[in-house]
C-alpha cells in the first residue's frame, strides 16, 4: 500500500514537473513579454511553444493563428456562446479559406461576431478585402489592431495624441486611438506605431491578455438597481446612543445592556432557565420602562427595544414612541447612534411610509455624525426609490459621498449614484459623474488595497453605459 502511494505521488510530481518544464521557455527569461507569454501558455492555454523549448517571441504570427486566438478569447469570457455562433448559415466570402482548414470554424465565427456585435463600425471585410484572406500570411499591426478594437469595449476617454506615423485622414484613425486609449496596444519608443510591421508572438501574447482583461468588463451586467450592504458597517446589534465616558448615567447603561441581553436570550430559546436566572435580568421589560421614567439618555435604543419586545403595547403607543425617538434625535444630532438603520426599519411596520420618510428626511438633514447620517441616508434612499423619487435619491447619495470614509461602502455608494444618474440623466452625465468620483476615490489611502475590485466595478459600469446608452 505504501509503495502504491509513493508511486502515485511520484507520478503526480513528474507530471507537475513536466508541465512546468514545458512552459519554462529558454528564450523569454529576459524578454519584455515574459509575463504575457507565461499567461498565454500556462494560466490560459492559447499559445504553444516549440519542441526545442523555445517560444520565439520575436517571430511573426499568421492571420489564421491570430483570428483563432481572438475567437477563443470570446468563448473564454463568455462573450458569445456556442448556440449563438454555431451552425450560422454563412457563406465564406474568402476564396482561399475552405472547410477543412484548421482555423475555418474560428474564422467564420469571428467574422460573424465582428459583423453583428462589434461596438464599432468596423466590418471584417474593412480589414481583409474580399476575395482573399491570406490566412497563412503574417498579420500586420494595423490589421491586428483593427481586429482587437472590433471586439473590445470603447475607452472611457480617448487620448489627445497619436503616433506620428498615423495620419488623421487614415481609415479608422479614431478606432486606433481608442485601442491605444484602452491600453491594449502602444506605439514604439521612437514615437511611431509601425502600421505595416508584422505582429510578433510576444506582442500578440501581450495584446491578447489585455483584450481578455478588457472583455471582463462586459462579462456580466453591472448596471443594476442600487443596493448597499448595510450590515457590514454596523458595529453592534445594540441600538445605543454614544455618550461621553464620564456621563452621570453610565450606571444606567449597564442596566440597559443587561435588559437587552436577557430579552435577546429569551427571544432565542424562549425562556430563562431557573438555574440561570441569577445571571440575567428576569424582568427586562420593566427595567426598560423604569429607564424611561428615570429620563435615561438613550431614548432611541430604549424605545426601540420596548416596541420590539413589549407584547402588551398597542400600535398607537408604538407610534408615539417612534415619534418621541425622532424628536429626541433632533436634540442629539451631533452624536452617534449605533444601529439607527434597525430602528428605522422596525418603524416601517407601524408608521405610514410617507410620514416616516418625512421624519427620516428631517433627521438626515439634522445629522452631523457621518456614520449615523449614512445609516439614515441609506434607509431614506430605499424609501425614495419605492416612491420613484429618483431626483431626491440622487441628492441623498451626493450628500453621503461628501463624508463617508470607509472605501468599500463608498464604492457601493458611487456605483448606486452612477446607476441612478444614468437612469435619470443619461449616459453622458452618468459617465462623467462616475469618472469624477472614481478619480476622487483614487486618492483614498486604502485605494491600492481594493484597486482591482473598485476599477472592475466602476470602469465596467462606465464602459457598459457607453456601449448601451
pLDDT given at position 89: 62
Domain boundary among 404, 431, 461: 404
**Nearest-angstrom CA–CA distance, 46 and 105:** 16
pLDDT given at position 106: 94
Vertex 151, ends 147 and 154: CA angle to 5°? Answer: 110
C-alpha cell at position 434: 462616475
Element (H, E) at 250: helix 250-269
Residues 69, 145: one domain?
yes
Asked whether residue 387 is assigned to any structural domain, the reply reads yes
Residues 8, 120: one domain?
yes
What does the DSSP assignment read for 22-74?
HT--TT-TT-TTHHHHHIIIIIS------TTS---TTSB-BHHHHHHHHHHHH
pLDDT per residue over 243-282, tens digit each? 655 667 778 989 999 999 999 888 888 878 877 887 888 8
Closest to 375 in 3D by CA, of 224, 226, 229, 225 = 229
pLDDT per residue over 234-252, tens digit each? 545 577 777 655 667 778 9
For the chain, residues with pLDDT lower than 50 are: 1-22, 82-83, 87, 235
Residues 246, 375: one domain?
yes
Residues 148, 191: one domain?
yes
The residue segments making up the domain with residue 295 are 233-404
pLDDT given at position 69: 97
Length in residues, the chain: 469
pLDDT given at position 403: 81
Residues 108, 186: one domain?
yes
Residues 114, 175: one domain?
yes
Domain boundary among 355, 389, 404: 404
pLDDT per residue over 372-401, tens digit each? 999 999 999 999 999 999 999 999 999 999
- CATH code, domain with 321: 1.25.40
Residues 6+ apart with CB under 8 A from 70: 110, 147, 148, 151, 208, 211
pLDDT given at position 221: 93
What does the DSSP assignment read for 133-175?
--TTSBPBHHHHHHHHHHHSPPPSS--S---TTS-TTSTTHHH
pLDDT given at position 243: 67
Amino acid at each position: 500500500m505504501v509503495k502504491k502511494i509513493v508511486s502515485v505521488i511520484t507520478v503526480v510530481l513528474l507530471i507537475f514537473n513536466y508541465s512546468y518544464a514545458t512552459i519554462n521557455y529558454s528564450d523569454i527569461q529576459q524578454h519584455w513579454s515574459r509575463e504575457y507569454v507565461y499567461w498565454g501558455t500556462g494560466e490560459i492555454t492559447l499559445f504553444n511553444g516549440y519542441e526545442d523549448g523555445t517560444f520565439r517571441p520575436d517571430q511573426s504570427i499568421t492571420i489564421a493563428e491570430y483570428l483563432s486566438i481572438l475567437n477563443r478569447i470570446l468563448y473564454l469570457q463568455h462573450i458569445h456562446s456556442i448556440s449563438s455562433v454555431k451552425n450560422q448559415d454563412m457563406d465564406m466570402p474568402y476564396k482561399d479559406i475552405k472547410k477543412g482548414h484548421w482555423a475555418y470554424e474560428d474564422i467564420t465565427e469571428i467574422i460573424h461576431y465582428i459583423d453583428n456585435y462589434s461596438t464599432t463600425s468596423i466590418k471584417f471585410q474593412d480589414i481583409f478585402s474580399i476575395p482573399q484572406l491570406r490566412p497563412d500570411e503574417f498579420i500586420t499591426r494595423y490589421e491586428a489592431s483593427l481586429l482587437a478594437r472590433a471586439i473590445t469595449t470603447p475607452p472611457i476617454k480617448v487620448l489627445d495624441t497619436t503616433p506620428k506615423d498615423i495620419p488623421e485622414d487614415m481609415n479608422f484613425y479614431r478606432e486606433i486611438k481608442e485601442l491605444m486609449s484602452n491600453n491594449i496596444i502602444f506605439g514604439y519608443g521612437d514615437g511611431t506605431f509601425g502600421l505595416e510591421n508584422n505582429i510578433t508572438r510576444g506582442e500578440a501574447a501581450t495584446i491578447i491578455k489585455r483584450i481578455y482583461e478588457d472583455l471582463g468588463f462586459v462579462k456580466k451586467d453591472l448596471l443594476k438597481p442600487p443596493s448597499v450592504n448595510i450590515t457590514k458597517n454596523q458595529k453592534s446589534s445594540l441600538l445605543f446612543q454614544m455618550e461621553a465616558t464620564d456621563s452621570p448615567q453610565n450606571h444606567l447603561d449597564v442596566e440597559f445592556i443587561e435588559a437587552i441581553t436577557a430579552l435577546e436570550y429569551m427571544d432565542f430559546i424562549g425562556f430563562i432557565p431557573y438555574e440561570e436566572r441569577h445571571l440575567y435580568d428576569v424582568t427586562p421589560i420593566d427595567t426598560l420602562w423604569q429607564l424611561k421614567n428615570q429620563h435615561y439618555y438613550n431614548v432611541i435604543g430604549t424605545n426601540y427595544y420596548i416596541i420590539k419586545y413589549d407584547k402588551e403595547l398597542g400600535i398607537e403607543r408604538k407610534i408615539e414612541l417612534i415619534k418621541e425617538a425622532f424628536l429626541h434625535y433632533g436634540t442629539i444630532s451631533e452624536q452617534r447612534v449605533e444601529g439607527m438603520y434597525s430602528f428605522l426599519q422596525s418603524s416601517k411596520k407601524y408608521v405610514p411610509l410617507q410620514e416616516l420618510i418625512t421624519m427620516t428626511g428631517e433627521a438626515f438633514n439634522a445629522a452631523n455624525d457621518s456614520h449615523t447620517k449614512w445609516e439614515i441616508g441609506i434607509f431614506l434612499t430605499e424609501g425614495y426609490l419605492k416612491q420613484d423619487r429618483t431626483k431626491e435619491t440622487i441628492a441623498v447619495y451626493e450628500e453621503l459621498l461628501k463624508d463617508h470614509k470607509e472605501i468599500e461602502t463608498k464604492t457601493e455608494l458611487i456605483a448606486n449614484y452612477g446607476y441612478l444618474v444614468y437612469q435619470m440623466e443619461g449616459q453622458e452625465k452618468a459617465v462623467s459623474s462616475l469618472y469624477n468620483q472614481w478619480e476622487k476615490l483614487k486618492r483614498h489611502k486604502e485605494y491600492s488595497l481594493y484597486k482591482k475590485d473598485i476599477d472592475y466595478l466602476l470602469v465596467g459600469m462606465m464602459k457598459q453605459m457607453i456601449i448601451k446608452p
